Structure 1
Amino acid sequence: MISPFFRIYKNGKVERFIADTETVPPSNDPQTGVQSKDTVFSQENSLSVRLFIPKITDPGQKLPLLIYFHGGAFCIESPFSSLYHNYLTSLVHKANVIAVSVQYRRAPEHPLPIAYDDSWAAIQWVASNVNGDGPESWLNKHADFERTFLAGDSAGANIAHNMAVRAGVNGLTGVKIVGMVLAHPFFGGNDPDWFSPAIEFIFPSVRIYDDPRINPLGAGGQLELASLRCTRVLIFVAGKDGLRDRGFAYYEALKKSGWCGVVEIVEAEGKDHVFHLTNPACDEAGAMMKQVVSFTNYVH
């Protein structure tokens, strides 16, 4: 039993303790005018993205593009859950951006680095629309690829970081990642913690927290930090979150890494991990939303 996430039986069956089976279909939201739809980006692995677009008043309008990676300890949740559908609908409406919410295969059935590879495949699929003749009409017509942002929460923030690193190392033709939003990012430290029992099932090919993909402050992490493919990073931490200190450590390491960009960190005192998703009506979640909106609408 890998509490609080899942149990693996001898016959290979996986039982998840945190229910994440509640999914909602894409919609045309009557309150905000935001439309959403699901599009397959990997036929081979049966993976889709959920796209969100705000109400378009100018047919020629180009909007910032936000690529979002959901959280859930690499093993629960999806872009199709009500939690993430509602959050992205609200964010797209308030920020007036196009969003691509990425599905990736989850551990323990599909351990890391599979989620990283799936997420990179999704980004490359997004990039295939740069010339206006790609497979997705919303991106062809309305996405401003010169104003692309990566974002995620918890494990999804870890994925966003790794995608910014991969873009810096491998390049990403036609797509300019100008910023990254990391909400309560999951990063490992140098010592075992509450997540340690799960890591051998979620990322079995590495030693606990030695890999810079899990621990950017570990061996080789400084070089990866310096290669981030963006110029602005916004980090959110929560005062009662066990990952708070690692968020601050990432912030300090990024400033010292030689990366040529601007990083900001914002703390919500007295709040728990991903409170903005579980309690979006609270004042702190509202303030956090306003900061993300401002960040994605920054004139570069």
Structure 2
Amino acid sequence: MDSSCSSEVEFECLPLFRVFKDGVVERLRGTETVPPSDVPQNGVVSKDVVISPETGLSARLFLPMTATPDRKLPILIYIHGGGFVIESPFSPLYHPHVVSLASAANVIAVSVHYRRPPEHPIPIPHDDTWDAFQWVAAHSSGQGPEPWLNHHAKFDRVFFAGDSAGANIAHNMAIRAGTTQPPNVKIYGIVLVHPYFGNNGPDRLWNYLCPSGVHNLLFDPAVDTKLSILGCGKVLIFVAGKDVLKDRGFCYYEAVKKSGWGGAVEMVESEGEEHVFHLFNPDCDKARALIQKFASFMNQD
């Protein structure tokens, strides 16, 4: 390859990332990390686990100190956002957010570190998250490799949730679970926060991250005839009033209601707020309200 191409940009999506013609990916934000903590933070301890040494799939686990062998807790499988490309469970945005969720809802959280595009094109993030779910489910007999799940997890009450791109993945996990779900495991519900289901027109980012072009139902589930097989009993959708993705969130809500699916779907709008505002301003009243609604959803029958 001509060395003069090494500094030429092939694709960029500002302010997230750019890709150079020599294949180098430069992530412009979302690369910072914070460690897990065995000292309780808001009543929650955390640790990192490797799920697949072969692929590098890993997760950060969060355990409320209220857990005992006699009091098993629901499981939240959380999928971070960031346009599929940036951020991780270990970032200073997502670590405290999932701590807050685990604490408020009193659940064990598994925050998935999926492989990210463009090095690992879509649907690899979706496949990795499904593999993480299979790993969690393998503990339902009490014989898995992770003691926190063996001793404290309630496998008949599992939730998928995510924000933005992570919400896209969470929805698609429920679609997969509609046709195949591990024994002794029940997906109770999904929570989609400001879901990324594209814009009302060609989506340059999605087309670049999913070059095969054969996974458009992952991108726009409102046109998916399989919505009726969602493998959960209830869905909660959050949208933000000033978010450019809000309209597609509404479309998803309406499509699920009309699909013939037999569960309950609810939508909550945070008026006057931007996309994922709760991550950047977690102490504001509307962010606190989002966390509390999220937690109550997971604790309702």
**The two structures share one fold, judged by TM-score above 0.5:** yes
SS at match of 1:35: strand
Corresponding letter in the other structure for 1:257: S
What is the aligned partner in structure 1 of residue 121 from structure 2?
111
SS at match of 1:254: helix
The Cα shift of 1:273 comes to: 0.3
Any idea what the Cα deviations from partners look like across 1:10-54, whole Å, max 9, x if unmatched? 21111122x122101110344523110111111111121100000
The Cα shift of 1:57 comes to: 5.8
What is the aligned partner in structure 2 of residue 146 from structure 1?
156
Q: Which runs of 5+ in 1 are unaligned?
A: none
Work out the CA distance in 2 between the residues paired with 1:288 and 1:33.
19
The Cα shift of 1:189 comes to: 5.0
Structure 1 consecutive aligned stretches of length 4 or more whose deviation exceeds 6 Å = none
Work out the CA distance in 1 between the residues paired with 2:67 and 2:125.
36
What is the aligned partner in structure 1 of residue 217 from structure 2?
212
SS at match of 2:48: strand
Work out the CA distance in 2 between the residues paired with 1:297 and 1:217.
28
Corresponding letter in the other structure for 1:43: P
CA 57–73 in structure 1, closer or farther in 2 if over 3 Å, else same: closer
Question: Is residue 65 of structure 2 the alignment partner of residue 55 of structure 1?
Answer: yes
What is the aligned partner in structure 1 of residue 263 from structure 2?
261
Q: Percent identity?
A: 58
SS at match of 1:141: helix
Work out the CA distance in 2 between the residues paired with 1:59 and 1:175.
18
SS at match of 2:232: coil
What is the aligned partner in structure 1 of residue 82 from structure 2?
72
Work out the CA distance in 1 between the residues paired with 2:69 and 2:201.
53
TM-score, length basis structure 1: 0.93
What is the aligned partner in structure 2 of residue 200 from structure 1?
207
The Cα shift of 1:285 comes to: 0.5
Work out the CA distance in 1 between the residues paired with 2:39 and 2:200.
45
Q: Aligned runs of 1:1-300 on 2, under 5 Å?
A: 1-4=11-14, 5-17=16-28, 19-56=29-66, 58-189=68-199, 191-192=201-202, 196-206=203-213, 211-218=216-223, 221-223=224-226, 225-299=227-301
Q: Which moved more, 1:171-180 or 1:66-75?
A: 171-180
Any idea what the Cα deviations from partners look like across 1:206-251, whole Å, max 9, x if unmatched? 16xx711111123xx022x111110110000000000001101100
SS at match of 1:82: coil
The Cα shift of 1:6 comes to: 1.8
Corresponding letter in the other structure for 1:199: W
The Cα shift of 1:170 comes to: 2.1
Work out the CA distance in 1 between the residues paired with 2:185 and 2:18.
40
Any idea what the Cα deviations from partners look like across 1:52-103, whole Å, max 9, x if unmatched? 0001363321001100000011100111111110001111111111000001
CA 57–166 in structure 1, closer or farther in 2 if over 3 Å, else same: closer
SS at match of 2:149: helix
CA 134–30 in structure 1, closer or farther in 2 if over 3 Å, else same: closer
SS at match of 2:46: strand
